[in-house]
A = this chain, B = another copy of it.
């Protein structure tokens, strides 16, 4: 009972500036292609979402891995998670430093330990035991990320109010992926550097099972992005998965989840979703979200609301 494989990618839901728009679209399409190739060759949904997220961690346009933003102390602290909808196995890492691919570390936690979540120094210690190469903060930080940080810190020193009245303009370009493989299994992965000038130790929704994403073969898979605290408080990904479990399709379930988040906590964000039936959604309540999917030999993608473009799978 081979299923037609599907992958859906997001590159963050926020007010993506025009000068990043094209690179964001190129990046999510590339990730979707890489993940889809894994699925076509018979790889698992877990393999596909990890491969896709790794592409975006390596792409400096996204706030994950290389391209991560700086926290208030000028350090990089990254979060990532992966989950297998067949077994509900999951691995996650929060506040990890000096590694290039947090999603890879999350997968090692899932595969090699009985744990789900390792944070901070303990996560780095595990990375070392696993032989992951240490990279310098300079390797992870782009010139643009450092400029954002300097602007923000200058603003803070002049105006005050650090950690209050934040808006999403400082960037929330978390990345994520959901996939359905030929065996009918779903998975998700999410990765982020968080928000510019965040308080050291702050963890948003991204690495949290149920918030940053959820995957359950009995319903489907979800990866989220946007206002991390709002997503955490509404358990957005698990909420959407439950809606699919109750019979809503991916589009209906994701709209119901985002509407709930707007109504209860006035939070905005975006999600990519695949149901175990293979129907997909990429919805957001922010100004923009870079997304791409591959299904039936076609790449679909967009950035602005209502934008939906298609191109052949191997067009470039």
Name the interface residues of A203-236: CB closer than 8 Å to any CB of B.
203-204, 208-211, 214, 228-229, 232-235
Specify which chain B residues have a CB less than 8 angstroms from the CB of A264 in the assembled complex.
Answer: 88
Q: Which stretch in A26-34, A112-120, A146-154 binds the other chain?
A: A112-120
Specify which chain B residues have a CB less than 8 angstroms from the CB of A163 in the assembled complex.
Answer: 113-115
Residue A265 interfacial (CB < 8 Å): yes
Residue A94 interfacial (CB < 8 Å): yes
Q: Which of B116, B123, B233 has a CB less than 8 Å from the CB of A233?
A: B116
Specify which chain B residues have a CB less than 8 angstroms from the CB of A120 in the assembled complex.
Answer: 95, 119-121, 201
Specify which chain B residues have a CB less than 8 angstroms from the CB of A119 in the assembled complex.
Answer: 94-95, 119-120, 201, 203
Are A118 and B203 in contact, with the CB atoms below 8 A? yes
Specify which chain B residues have a CB less than 8 angstroms from the CB of A90 in the assembled complex.
Answer: 232-233
* Total residues of chain A contacting the partner, CB 8 A: 46
Are B232 and A209 in contact, with the CB atoms below 8 A? yes
Question: For chain A, what secondary structure do more than half of its interface residues adopt (helix, strand, loop), or is it mixed?
Answer: mixed
Q: Which of B87, B117, B210, B229 has a CB less than 8 Å from the CB of A238?
A: B210
Specify which chain B residues have a CB less than 8 angstroms from the CB of A204 in the assembled complex.
Answer: 116-117
Bound CA–CA A208/B204 (angstroms): 11
**Cβ distance A273 to chain B, nearest Cβ, rounded Å:** 16
Using CB atoms and an 8 Å cutoff, list the residues of chain A in contact with chain B: 83, 87-90, 94-95, 113-123, 125-126, 163-164, 166, 199-204, 208-211, 214, 228-229, 232-235, 238-239, 242, 246, 264-265
- Given known contacts A87-B265, A114-B164, what 19 new A-B pairs fall within 8 Å (CB)? A83-B233, A88-B265, A94-B94, A94-B119, A95-B119, A95-B122, A113-B199, A114-B166, A117-B203, A119-B203, A120-B201, A121-B121, A122-B201, A125-B201, A126-B199, A209-B211, A209-B232, A210-B238, A238-B239
The 4 A-B residue pairs whose C-beta atoms are closest, nearest first, are A122-B201, A120-B120, A210-B235, A122-B200
